[in-house]
A and B are shown apart, each in its own frame.
Chain A
């Protein structure tokens, strides 16, 4: 079947880094997105990847391995304000020619401690 899996919680320390993992299974993979969602707020787009490898966007970097059905979001130089949920979403091309259906994981709640 299809699915997107993420750990529910992650804890890290200010000034260090955090890696949020995501695994997925789908026969129609057409890209993967990461969103940040603060408590009580709407998800906000962070990154999109469709090719294997590491995409460095400064504070946020994203890695993808399509053969392993695996991605991670890497946050460096963590700040307290990075505490939020991070949602992994896989785009599946079977749901329309432009593949606009997103399948979301449950989100990983990152807590950054002083």
Chain B
């Protein structure tokens, strides 16, 4: 079964702080994604990538950077965290191609105080 591991699972930071969320997938999937999930909004795509060194902008990219350092690793960076970025963040991966299943990590709960 596809494995997507996120760290940390929980994080609290202050407004203006610098946060990095990590994600690793061990199934050689081409595509990796960062989503945020908020009540009333569902899952919203922040950034995604189709391979090492590639980055594509999602639907809610403001305030976020991302980097795909290897096939396995995808990082989400919040350089000046704001309370509006308090959310549940999911990393996901998929092999690519229409109809393929997307596998999600267990999520990172981020609180910006």
| Interaction A to B | yes
Chain A interface (Cβ < 8 Å from any Cβ of B): 4, 30-31, 33, 41-45, 48, 50, 87, 89, 91, 93, 95-96, 98-107
- Which among B59, B97, B104 is the interface contact of A43 at CB below 8 angstroms? B104
B45 to A102, Cβ gap below 8 A?
A: yes
- Which among B35, B44, B94, B99 is the interface contact of A31 at CB below 8 angstroms? B99
Given A42-B90, A106-B40: A100 touches B104 (CB 8 Å cut-off): no
B99 to A50, Cβ gap below 8 A?
A: yes
- Which among A48, A93, A105 is the interface contact of B101 at CB below 8 angstroms? A48
Chain B interface (Cβ < 8 Å from any Cβ of A): 31, 35, 40-45, 48, 50, 56, 58-59, 90, 94, 96-107
A98 to B104, Cβ gap below 8 A?
A: no
> Could you count the A-B residue pairs with CB atoms below 8 Å apart for me: how many are there?
61
Given A104-B42, A104-B44, A106-B42: A99 touches B98 (CB 8 Å cut-off): yes
- Closest chain-A Cβ to B100's Cβ sits at a distance in Å of 8
- Which among B48, B58, B98, B101 is the interface contact of A50 at CB below 8 angstroms? B98
Residues of B within 8 A of A106 (CB): 40-42
A100 to B44, Cβ gap below 8 A?
A: no
- Which among A30, A45, A105, A107 is the interface contact of B98 at CB below 8 angstroms? A30
Residues of A within 8 A of B31 (CB): 100
Residues of A within 8 A of B102 (CB): 33, 45, 102
Can you name the residue of chain A whose Cβ is closest to the Cβ of B109?
A: A40
Give me 5 other A-B pairs in contact (C-beta within 8 A), A31-B98, A100-B97, A107-B42 excluded. A42-B105, A91-B98, A93-B98, A100-B31, A104-B35
